[in-house]
Chains A and B, each alone.
Chain A
């Protein structure tokens, strides 16, 4: 038996809740609140749009930008005029109740109701997990049609108060579209750049980094709205522009904060919007006119279908990946109307538009129909038509390499052909970005970091954090692959060293103890070479106990330590990985570097009969402990240093553990190098045995 939530999308349920709440309030005798337009436009809408803009998948968006723009601009214009014109005809024929509604009023109504609503589209499309192309087409359209809606709305509202509408007015109106949309984008870009620039200097006040993102974005929105430019486009532009630079500058914690705050605010807004829609339906004054409402609904659907069909036929001439009829159906069906239409209708002035109540009733009916009927049926239809669903592909380093390679290849081919195409200009933009913009907007070393490296570090971070989290619970990650560096590169041999030779059974003992201890701590480190291993097996048991006690204590301290961790210096990515490689909970970063042991890891030589396969990270794409600055053949030497990196300050908490036990712990978990310890008089295994 399917549950309610799998049939009914969340937006519908929320509207029903709103209806109930409104009914309840009315039943008690109070006047239920109506969704006021300024609350909607100033407080409820921006978080949703910012969330959408900040996390907009840029690649598919720019690849399909032409298509999206055509749907957004031409499609909305077509809808507005078609609907307005037909409704005018209906009004003229509709009898005494409707005759007085003029052409302009109808056109205004058409412009209000024709825009696809981003909130409704998001709410419904999020749940059906449709493939990326369709999602970005419908969603992109809903975002970009705001400019058209704003222009048409203000235009018709102005014109309604004019005596005569001249050609000049129409031309000016046409031009104002460009001003509104491009002006909005410009405002957004300016604020985005300012935000990125500000984030460059926040390395000492990490705590307020998220604030700048929210603040500047909201200011972009308000500034645009102030000048009657398109606030939504400003917000989207600001989010898109600031994101790559801000993410390069801010700490990992701030990044998480921004992500969760945006998701939280947008969820709350969405919920409130739908509930308010329900309440407003109950609360509002309604004027039901059968002819008007039914014909509005009917013509809305027709206009949408016709618009999509004609535009797709036109667009497919220019597209490489053509839109199939199935795609067209989903695009047409996904044209949902929502709260923006309602709020715009609510804004209408009673004096100029006496039929405002009728308009509102019709708008609400259309909204209800699209959200309930279309929203509920789209999921079974998607399954029925077997539309391609979203593929959950994890981003891998291989894909990134291939994609970049392909980009460069295609740019090269275009250059050879002498054709200044898509890739050529994208490449030029990237080079410009790298040469000038990144230097200004990204702090410090990271401004020179190429994209591949940045991506690689991001992946490693993610996997390291996953490992830490899963390691803390004590479970081995189920997808651990046994592929390690020796599987792909067995030829690297360690340099010949003069080392104490171990007897066979001592070696076996050491190995056994290490294996049991390391398994208990649920880690798999890189394979080691027996020649470089000098350990104290008798101390292992005691260290194990200490380790457990330490873990318990540090888990407690972790909470308190988070906010007291001072800002760290920039660390090399080597160190981040190195710290992850050893047990994070036992790591004591404040130690003086000279006293700490050197960990020497070698890939297992082919001669070793069995090597404990130790890997320090999750399988997908991590090369474990990194190669050293010296030659590869010497083996990998890792020196433990002061920790820090903008991103890793939250992963490890410096515990206030006592030094000797932590030192020993470090030693027991890592393979100490052949260099004698300052405390240990002589190596444990006597020479020559």
Chain B
């Protein structure tokens, strides 16, 4: 219903486990954003007024076009995404399901954390370096124009050192901590149960998607 021709068959969307109503809602939104085109470009996101206030706006929009998130083999940024890609990104924000077993839960969690990791790691090298982390903190604090750069920097430095001590433990003076790898990232997030936090509420899973 309303799914455009030319996109992947709805059966492929089964794996994303969103209901058909949600697909329809998202599709309407997609059409709104793309102004009835088949694909969205970065500029289309400018039309969302509320996004202006978001300090990490750039990173969020970037995440939609990040090929790693779109489950494509290649690297880098896509120029435009179609509805299927849009849904793929949205599926990262599914809530947890009751009938998941341990292994599924673990995979679920890793997927979400991988999405977050890609957002932090802007140069796609698989590590979050100090400069990238500083960048993140600066963006978070970008809503306060009078703030000095050093505050953001020292916070990022402190956080990085803490991450190093969590992930590596004791370090000698000559050891250098290159950056946060994905395994370290997982360690840092151990205390926070991401699977319950990282979801958008209306993507409640009541039934598995069925195809028309």
Contacts and interface: CB of A to CB of B under 8 A. Distances in A.
A415 B155 contact: no
Nearest to A434: B143
Interface stretch (B1-9, B50-58, B70-78): B50-58
B171 A416 contact: no
B147 A453 contact: yes
Contacts of B189: 402
A452 B137 contact: yes
B211 interface: no
Given A406-B197, A453-B151, A482 B172 contact: yes
Contacts of A391: 191
Contacts of A481: 165, 169-171
Nearest to A619: B165
A480 to B, nearest CB: 9
Given A320-B95, A396-B162, A453 B200 contact: no
Nearest to B56: A408
A320 B136 contact: no
Interface stretch (A91-99, A167-175, A368-376, A484-492): A484-492
A628 B153 CA distance: 11
Contact of A485 (B32, B60, B157, B165): B157
B90 A402 contact: no
A537 interface: no
Contacts of B150: 626-629
B172 A422 contact: no
A427 B160 CA distance: 27
Contacts of A412: 51, 54, 56-57, 60
A416 to B, nearest CB: 6
A408 to B, nearest CB: 5
A659 B158 CA distance: 35
A594 interface: no
B147 A450 contact: yes
By secondary structure, the B interface counts as helix
A573 to B, nearest CB: 8
A41 to B, nearest CB: 39
A171 B16 CA distance: 49
Contact of B157 (A413, A417, A611, A623): A623
B173 A397 contact: no
Contacts of A418: 29, 32
B177 interface: yes
A421 B201 contact: yes
A620 B144 CA distance: 26
A575 B140 CA distance: 24
A486 B93 CA distance: 38
B159 A613 contact: no
Interface string A614-636: 00000111110011110010000
B196 A487 contact: no
Interface in B122-147: 130, 136-137, 140-141, 143-144, 146-147
Contacts of B161: 483-485, 487-488, 619, 621-623
Given A415-B48, A487-B175, A488-B160, A422 B165 contact: no
A479 to B, nearest CB: 9
A440 B169 CA distance: 44
A536 interface: no
Contacts, number: 184
A294 interface: no
A431 B53 contact: yes
Contact of B141 (A415, A452, A487): A452
B188 A398 contact: yes
Nearest to A490: B176
A411 interface: yes
A424 B171 contact: no
Contacts of B12: none
Contacts of B45: 416
A448 B51 CA distance: 22
A618 to B, nearest CB: 10
B164 interface: yes
A295 to B, nearest CB: 38
B173 A421 contact: no
Interface in A568-612: 604, 610-611
B119 interface: yes
Contacts of A604: 173
A144 B75 CA distance: 53
Contacts of B10: none
Nearest to B169: A481
Interface in A149-185: none
B81 interface: no
A413 B45 CA distance: 11
B107 to A, nearest CB: 18
Given A320-B199, A418-B32, A448 B146 contact: yes
A490 B172 CA distance: 13
A654 B199 CA distance: 52
B198 interface: yes
Nearest to B57: A412
Given A416-B48, A418-B29, A487-B164, A404 B140 contact: yes
Interface in A394-433: 396-399, 401-406, 408-419, 421-424, 427, 431
Interface of B: 25-26, 29, 32-33, 45, 48, 50-51, 53-57, 60, 90, 93, 95-96, 98, 116, 119, 130, 136-137, 140-141, 143-144, 146-148, 150-151, 153-155, 157-166, 168-173, 175-177, 188-189, 191-192, 194, 196-202, 204
18 contacts: A401-B136, A402-B192, A405-B56, A409-B116, A416-B33, A417-B90, A417-B200, A448-B144, A450-B147, A456-B151, A483-B164, A483-B168, A483-B177, A487-B171, A488-B160, A490-B176, A619-B162, A621-B161
The 8 closest A-B pairs by CB, nearest first: A481-B165, A621-B162, A623-B158, A623-B157, A415-B50, A412-B60, A621-B158, A613-B173
Given A402-B192, A483-B165, 20 more contacts: A396-B162, A401-B155, A405-B56, A406-B194, A406-B198, A415-B48, A415-B51, A416-B48, A416-B60, A431-B53, A453-B141, A453-B155, A487-B177, A488-B130, A488-B177, A613-B173, A620-B165, A621-B159, A623-B158, A628-B150
Interface of A: 320-322, 391, 393, 396-399, 401-406, 408-419, 421-424, 427, 431, 448, 450, 452-453, 456, 481-490, 527, 604, 610-611, 613, 619-623, 626-629, 632
